[in-house]
């Protein structure tokens, strides 16, 4: 799919998957508004991408700020072809160890941040009669994730929101997709809130190799071009998801192994 003449807004684009998405869209001829709460890094990222990149400092949890950026975008660009609600943070730990403050922060960024993005652009996309809304969930939004239940809950919310909204939005010419990546090599561990876990030990014991953010971005853009409802990135996510759909009992047994693994790395 060529992005020539198209404009996208990508949240969380100072780093990782968002930054790679912005780069891939610009490489394909598009313009990108990079939005992130990290002022320094979002400006650096946009500067490195050249004149087709615009940087805006935006905390996605601030609905008014999100609307202002979108107002400005429509004023300057005249239209918006796609929004990638990608900004997010991680949380890990057994449910008994995760504080309600962590739950609140997580849902504020991973869920309300996406809702703010949708609210800011959807009426305008309906008015223009086209557009794509691409929300980043996770493989953790498709199957059980013991040791990461809070994160999984926030990402299941995004899958539920996206597949439900997709059916509503079609009538208005708006495509909704949800991205479910597996393990991607980014800086997400830095923003992840770990509760009572031996982080180094846990990281060392991850049995799979991460996919690069660049490859992830490629697969996401391919999925968006194909107007996919659910864009899965990574074989392990496919396997997990198919197993959960075909045999929930088997998937829950596998989840038991994962739970034991997290318990091994729990710090009392």
Ligand X SMILES: NC(=O)c1ccc[n+]([C@@H]2O[C@H](COP(=O)([O-])OP(=O)(O)OC[C@H]3O[C@@H](n4cnc5c(N)ncnc54)[C@H](O)[C@@H]3O)[C@@H](O)[C@H]2O)c1
For ligand X, the binding residues (CB under 6 A) are: 11-12, 14-18, 36-38, 58-61, 86-89, 109, 113, 136, 138, 181, 183-184, 186-188, 191
Nearer residue to ligand X within complex by CB, 121 or 247: 121
Closest separation between CB of residue 173 and ligand X, Å?
A: 26
DSSP-assigned beta bridge partners for residue 32: 8, 53
Distances (CA, A) of 144 to 32, 95, 147: 34, 13, 10
Nearer residue to ligand X within complex by CB, 57 or 126: 57
The Cα 146–Cα 124 span in angstroms is: 39
Closest separation between CB of residue 171 and ligand X, Å?
A: 28
Exposed, middle or buried by CB within 10 Å (0-12, 13-18, 19+), for 68?
Answer: middle
Q: In sequence order, what DSSP letters do the residues of 60-101 get, joined into one string?
A: TT-HHHHHHHHHHHHHHHS---EEEE-----EES-GGG--HH
Nearer residue to ligand X within complex by CB, 26 or 69: 69
Give the pair of three-digit tokens for residue 192.
């992840």
Backbone φ and ψ of 174, nearest 5°: -105, 130
Closest separation between CB of residue 57 and ligand X, Å?
A: 9
Closest separation between CB of residue 198 and ligand X, Å?
A: 19
Closest separation between CB of residue 150 and ligand X, Å?
A: 12
Q: Which residues of 220-250 are buried (b: 16+ CB within 10 A; e: fewer)?
A: bbebbeeebebbbbbeebeebbebbeeeeee
Nearer residue to ligand X within complex by CB, 23 or 87: 87
The Cα 75–Cα 84 span in angstroms is: 19
Catalytic residues: 151
Nearer residue to ligand X within complex by CB, 59 or 214: 59
């Amino acid at each position: 799919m060529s992005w020539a003449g198209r404009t996208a807004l990508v949240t969380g684009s100072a780093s990782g998957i968002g930054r790679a998405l912005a780069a891939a869209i610009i490489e394909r001829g598009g313009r990108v508004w990079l939005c992130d709460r990290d002022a320094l890094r979002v400006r650096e990222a946009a500067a490195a991408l050249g004149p087709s990149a615009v940087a805006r400092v935006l905390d996605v949890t601030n609905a008014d700020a999100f609307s202002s950026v979108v107002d400005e975008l429509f004023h300057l660009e005249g239209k918006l072809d796609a929004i990638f609600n990608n900004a997010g943070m991680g949380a890990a730990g057994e449910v008994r160890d995760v504080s309600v403050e962590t739950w609140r922060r997580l849902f504020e960024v991973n869920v309300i941040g996406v809702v703010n993005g949708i609210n800011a652009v959807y009426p305008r996309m309906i008015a223009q009669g086209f557009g794509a809304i691409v929300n980043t969930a996770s493989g953790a939004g498709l199957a059980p994730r013991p040791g990461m239940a809070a994160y999984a809950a926030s990402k299941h919310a995004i899958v539920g929101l996206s597949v439900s909204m997709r059916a509503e939005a079609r009538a208005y010419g708006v495509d909704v997709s949800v991205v479910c990546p597996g393990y991607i090599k980014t800086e997400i561990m830095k923003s992840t809130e770990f509760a009572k876990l031996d982080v180094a030990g846990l990281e060392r014991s991850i049995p799979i190799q991460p996919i690069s953010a660049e490859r992830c971005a490629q697969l996401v853009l391919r999925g968006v071009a194909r107007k996919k409802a659910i864009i899965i990135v990574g074989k392990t996510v496919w396997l997990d998801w198919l197993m959960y759909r075909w045999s929930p009992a088997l998937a829950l047994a596998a989840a038991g192994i994962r739970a034991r693994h997290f318990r091994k790395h729990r710090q009392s």
